[in-house]
Structure 1
Amino acid sequence: MTDGDVRPPGPAVSSGEPATATAGCDEPATQPAPEVGGAPAAVPSAPPRGRRRRPLWIAIALVLVLVACGVPGVLLLGLVGDAVGRPAAGRADDPAAATARRLGQRMTAQLDRQAAALLGGDRTGFLAVADPAARPALTRRYAALRALRVTVWRPAADGLPTAVDGRPGEWRLPVRVGYCFVVPGCTPSTVAIGTRWRLAGEEEPRLVAVEESAARPAGARPWEVSDLAVAVGKRTLVATTPTLRGKLPGLLVQAEAAARVADRYAVGTAPPDRYLVFYAGRAEWQRWYGGGRPKWTAGYAVGVGGGHHDVVLNAQSLSPAGVDDLLRHELTHAASLPDRGYADRSSWWLVEGLAEYAGADGQPVGRYEGLAEVRKLLHGGWAGRLDALAPADDAADDRVGGAYGVGYLAVRHLVDRYGEQRVLDFFRVVVHERRPVAAAAEEVFGDPWPALHDDCVGYVRAVAG
């Protein structure tokens, strides 16, 4: 799917009690405090713990974004020369194009200076290329990127500059940036942004504004539009707004524990070099990564290029008991999904079933508290086909919860029968290589898919019936 699937709200309950500062971790209770950036602020009290109704029926959305044209971030390096430095091979620039290219080179030189200042921790230098009116927004962006420990920032022109209608002396230059946080040697994520510039005589171009990134491939990143407070751990980075800063230490502990689970389900490559988790307040939930999620959504994973998927949690929809399961589920998406996501709704059961299996974290099947929703789905019109399991965006809560439960039970049956590694191999062939499920079953399991499908559905009926 390309635009997300959802689950109904409700208190997500992990296999144990709600995590404390050390629950679910291998580290001793005296582990070092997380490093936190951003200004402190008052934090609203946590909502009371809800009644235990079902383990994962918090609304989880998986936003699977296909990177435009499949161009990885590392290929963006060197685009400045091709885009604005010289004409295409065998063609001569007309005078207007030649002038635009020279102007673009001057703009990208300014962006290069700004990038060097950002990586060097020089705020004055970062702001020096901008008009005074643009500096407040750039100051916020600089602070957010530094809090996220930006290690790579590579701006490249994504076309020629064009004059802004009705604004004499102003020009717009599309820019694509490859960036990394915390890990210097990562494959960069990418973001496409618009920049506006002012020309005054022979002075260097001055940056007037940096526009929010487009709705695709992922929408506005949190660091583009919000002040951020950040906590960094060994495997994860957790960020939120200054208002919710007090949540960071506990969230980091829970994210680190979830990462150790999710690492086991990396498919095709090594686990992510770092999991990024953004904890959104009410306003940020509507704005980060384009917003617009269904009202029941409590979390999702979104592809941002370079093989990375950022995870977003909805602070308004989560009970303390639900965070552990949600993090395991979403971080497993980040570990298991291909960079380009997946577009075939017929494999929804496998994608969500694997994440749900990881979220359950080894608990006995009988303790899976969504069995009532599965039972209702079995008796409520589902035709018994896994490839038709994906719920509609406007489906009722119990229909969505039942679908996740069926996916979990089907994957659980495959794991019990063949083991985790062969199920991950099956996932790779179906989701990463995009081959038919029947061919994948024959290759990986050595069994015909029609019979195996019926065995999975029979297992679901036996457990939940």
Structure 2
Amino acid sequence: MTDGDEQAPAVSGGAPRRRRGWPLWTALALVLALVACGVPGVLLLGLVGDAAGRPAAGRDGDPAAAARRLGLRMTAQLDRQASALLGGDRAGFLAVAEPAARPDLTRRYAALRALRVTVWQPAAVDGRPGEWRLAVTVRYCFVVPGCTPSTVEIGTRWHLVGEEPRLLAVEESRAKPAGARPWEVSDLAVAVGKRTVVATTPALRARLPGLLAQAEAAATVADRYALTGTPPDRYLVLYAGRAEWQRWYGGGRPKWTAGYAVGVGGGHHDVVLNAQSVTSAGVDDLLRHELTHAASLPDHGYSDRSSWWLVEGLAEYAGADGQPVGRYEGLAEVRTLVHGGWNGRLDSLAPADDAGDDRVGGSYGVGYLAVRHLVDRYGEQRVLDFFRTVVHEHRSLDDAADQMFGERWSALHDDCVAYVRAVAG
């Protein structure tokens, strides 16, 4: 279920607590293009200037030439580091860095090796001049070689020791909406399946076998809702403890959220579950719900709050996995919402961040019932085509209903609401 951030376009998916609980001279920046064949990989790199932070110049006084030479040395450092990473040489990986940077790099190295990184490729592009701190774009993939990479921006700091550039620090990414990736900031324990990768902290390692099995089962359902025609290469599921929930991907989710899907570029959405809210009984439908977001949402998520009911309704429909309507566990909250002053508009269903559990659960349930009614009437494929037209192509509900169903949306809307009220009793 959604976490209430549907207006932050790369973030969607979640569950209410009840359920699952960036010129002095031309300089050089470096971008890491990571294509990992084994599982997720990450990043580091930097930029230019002299030890006092001034533009560097060669003996001929040409700062641009000096920048090129320094850039080549930095690239060589990063190439050596990449080779060490792929070869399992931790000492070689750390050798490019100053002692102060090594604890953080040691943890990153361990996380990357646990994630089975197999390809690590640095490349140089124009960057920001005259600075020691630079935001670096990193392109990376999970599991499958040749995929469309996800992207992340990180800060790096460098200085010169003689003629050698030395890495001082790699900062965590802070760009919204995704924020810091778990593999940037945490030790990770990882389990890998055919369709999913599940990661958590070492303290929660014991949950990995069960979570992996449940994620693999949920992936077979979510794959059916891949609107691009091809399911994600792998679904990445992160199981967050209390501290990690507040830090991974920027934290700050509504209190009622038990899970969410966050867009990380390249058509990928990472799924995060809140270990403090997820119950054993609710994890299966939560995984089906969130992995369906990962399969069905466009690269940059969605931004039209009025389509919240459709996005979440489809994910709830997938989460229910064909069970009879009468067994949907949110029916009590639906009744409370329907008989508690709801205005009968699907476009007003999205709950506020501070909404109570009944309001949240009722909103999800109404979305589910509306989508269920459309599926029962027109079939899954036509509803998926309707979803694609509205959420991916940004067409109006009126246009989409006319094109896909041959009906006016106003009439269909009223039919859906009547169905919801009938089920609520």
Please say whether Structure 1 and Structure 2 have the same fold, judged by a TM-score greater than 0.5.
yes
Which residue number corresponds to residue 2 of structure 1? 7
Match of 1:219 in 2: 179
Q: C-alpha separation between the residues in 1 aligned to 2:175 and 2:239?
A: 20
Partner AA of 2:20 in structure 1? I
Residue 89 of structure 2 corresponds to residue 130 of structure 1: no
Q: Report if aligned partners of 2:142, 2:233 keep a CA contact under 8 Å in 1.
A: no
- Give structure 2 stretches of 5+ with no counterpart: 1-5, 22-32, 35-46, 49-60
> For residue 63 of structure 1, what is the aligned residue in structure 2?
none
Q: Contact 2:153/2:175 (CA < 8 Å) preserved in 1?
A: no
- What's the Cα RMSD here? 2.2
> Is the CA contact 2:14–2:261 (under 8 Å) kept in the aligned structure 1?
no
Structure 1 CA distance, aligned partners of 2:418 and 2:150? 42
Correspondence 1:349 to 2:309? yes
Residues 180, 198 of structure 1: CA spacing in aligned structure 2 closer, same or farther, 3 A cutoff? same
Partner of 1:191: 152
The CA distance in 1 between the partners of 2:235 and 2:309, in whole Å, is: 24
Letter in 1 for 2:152: V
Report the residue type matching 1:284 in the other structure.
E
Q: 2:88 aligns with which of 117, 121, 130?
A: 121
Do residues 329 (structure 1) and 289 (structure 2) align?
yes
Distance in 1 between residues matched to 2:119 and 2:96, nearest whole Å: 19
1:462 matches 2:383 = no
1:5–1:391 Cα contact (<8 Å) kept: no
TM-score by length of 1: 0.78
Give the equivalent residue in structure 2 for 1:148: 115
> Hey, what's the Cα distance between the residues in 1 that align with 2:269 and 2:225?
14
- Distance in 2 (CA, whole Å) between partners of 1:380 and 1:6 is 24
Change (3 A) 1:330 1:310: same
Identity %: 80
Task: Return the match for 1:411 from 353, 371, 392.
Answer: 371
Whole-Å Cα distance in 2 between the matches of residues 463 and 414 of structure 1?
Answer: 14
CA distance in 2, matches of 1:157, 1:291: 32
- Picking from 253, 277, 289, the partner of 1:293 is 253
- 2:267–2:298 Cα contact (<8 Å) kept: yes
Aligned runs of 1:221-300 on 2, under 5 Å?
221-300=181-260
Question: Does 2:76 match 1:106?
Answer: no
* Larger displacement relative to structure 2 (333-342 or 393-402): 393-402
SS of match in other structure, 1:301: strand
Give the 3 Å change call, closer, same or farther, for CA 110–412 of structure 1 in structure 2: same
Amino acid at match of 2:300: R
For the 8 Å contact 1:193–1:212, the answer to whether it is kept is: yes
Counterpart among 278, 303, 307 of residue 263 in structure 2: 303
What is the CA-CA distance between 1:105 and the residue it aligns to? 4.1
Looking at structure 2, the residues matched to 462 and 152 of structure 1 have their Cα atoms a distance apart, in angstroms, of 56
Matches of 1:152 and 1:381, distance apart in 2: 56
CA distance in 2, matches of 1:336, 1:136: 39
- Normalised by the length of structure 2, the TM-score is 0.85
Pairs within 5 Å for 1:72-87: none
TM-superposed CA distance for 1:294, in Å, is: 2.1
* Cα distance in 2 between the residues matched to 1:152 and 1:448: 52
Matched position secondary structure for 2:120: strand
Deviation string 1:394-448 (CA, Å, 9 cap, x unpaired) is: 1121111100000000000011011111111111110011111110111111111
Cα deviation, residue 381, structure 1: 2.2
Match of 2:390 in 1: 430
Q: Would the alpha carbon gap of residues 172 and 162 (structure 1) be closer, same or farther in structure 2, given more than 3 Å must change?
A: farther
Change beyond 3 A, Cα 1:373–1:251: same
Q: Which residue of structure 2 aligns with residue 26 of structure 1?
A: none
- 3-state SS of the aligned residue for 2:354? coil
For 1:227, the aligned partner's letter is D
How far apart, CA to CA, are the structure 2 residues paired with 1:320 and 1:259?
18
Match for residue 180 of structure 1? 141
Q: Residue 313 of structure 1: SS of its match in structure 2?
A: strand
Q: 1:198 to 1:161 in 2, by over 3 A?
A: farther
User: Is the partner of 2:136 in helix, strand or coil?
Assistant: strand
The answer for the alignment partner of 1:368 in structure 2 is 328
Q: Do the aligned residues in 1 keep the contact of 2:177 with 2:249 (CA within 8 Å)?
A: no
Matched, 1:394 2:354: yes
Matches within 5 A, 1:161-180: 162=129, 171-180=132-141
Once the two structures are TM-superposed, the CA of residue 256 in structure 1 deviates from its matched residue by 0.3
Task: Report the alpha carbon displacement of residue 100 of structure 1 after superposing the two structures with TM.
Answer: 4.0
- Please state whether the residue corresponding to 1:196 is helix, strand or coil: strand
Taking the aligned partners of 1:248 and 1:292, their CA distance within structure 2 comes to 25
Partner AA of 2:416 in structure 1: C
